[in-house]
Structure 1
Amino acid sequence: MGSWRFVGGFVLFMILWAVANSFASGWDPYPFILLNLFLSMLAGLQGAILLISAKRQDAIAAALAQHDFDTNIAAKTDIEALLEINNRQLAMIGDLQAILERLDLPTRSAGPTPATND
């Protein structure tokens, strides 16, 4: 009911119905009472179909939102783990710098070493 093919076919059907019942001794004279009955039933069905379609779209949107939420939670967990690893690495680097400074201090305090010709 939502395609252009349906709309075109529906308009064509309405025109054929009107032509068939206007020029020939048709089964539905001019006010087209039977056609009005069919159109009223179609309008009632369209309302129900639109509501069903909207409900299905809402369910799809809710599922996509839940998937996005789950993905964000997983990404948050991964980022927190990476930040923890990064903090540990920064602490290790700080420890290594402290060790290097302790090892480097006695060499510098002794003063310059004389150059040797080898």
Structure 2
Amino acid sequence: METNLVKPHLHGHTIKNVNQVFQNQLTKGQRVADAVAGIIGSWTFMVCQSGILLLWMGANIYLVYMRATDPNYFAAWDPYPFILLNLVLSFQAAYTGPVVMMSQNRQAEKDRLMAEHDYWVNLKAEQEIEKVMKYLEHQNEMIKELKAKIEALGAEKE
């Protein structure tokens, strides 16, 4: 009977946190882009931006109305059709669009790294399972041998 048994619970690979590795590789500009994209993609930003737009339009409409009733009243800085507001929003879109795209590209790269890491983890798990199955087969053979020896000893006693 063989006494050198495989130890399937021992393995020689290190576990790494792909998120931490990826985060450590980001440049300062990439971190800023991700932070900006995170802010732009939030409900807080949507509510604040909507409030600013409503305030801008409301104030200008009010100032146009007040100027019409009193020529000495302060003139609106951006009367309807709000051309300055359109310029500001175009400027914002011109910069936030590429920043969001940079962040999405990095997320796609991170997803690719995660998928690759998952592949290697699954491959290693498959190899470990194969080792465990071989170990179990070996144990089954040993149990059969022991059972046969016990039965043989029992038959000799009778």
TM score, norm. by length of structure 2: 0.58
Instruction: Report the CA distance between 1:37 and its aligned residue.
Output: 0.9
Q: Give, as a single letter, the amino acid of the residue that structure 1 aligns with 2:101.
A: L
Distance in 2, matches of 1:106 and 1:21, equals 109
Q: Which residue is 2:144 aligned to? A: 94
Distance in 2, matches of 1:9 and 1:101, equals 83
Q: How many residues align?
A: 108
Q: Give CA-to-partner distance per residue, 1:6-57, whole Å, 9 cap, x none.
A: 1121122112222333314022232222111111122223321331232122
Q: Which residue is 2:106 aligned to? A: 56
- Measured on the aligned residues, the alpha-carbon RMSD in Å equals 2.0
Q: Which residue is 1:116 aligned to? A: none
List gaps (5 residues or longer) in structure 1.
109-118
Which has the higher relative contact order, 1 or 2, with Cα contacts under 8 A spaced 6 or more apart? 2
Instruction: Report the CA distance between 1:73 and its aligned residue.
Output: 1.8
Matched, 1:70 2:109: no
TM score, norm. by length of structure 1: 0.74
Distance in 1, matches of 2:157 and 2:79, equals 114
Q: Which residue is 2:53 aligned to? A: 14
Distance in 1, matches of 2:138 and 2:79, equals 88
Relative to its length, the structure with more helix (as a share) is 1
Q: Which residue is 1:81 aligned to? A: 131
List gaps (5 residues or longer) in structure 2.
1-39, 64-73
Distance in 2, matches of 1:101 and 1:12, equals 87
Q: Give CA-to-partner distance per residue, 1:52-111, whole Å, 9 cap, x none.
A: 232122123223222322221222122111111111111112222222333333444xxx
Identity %: 37
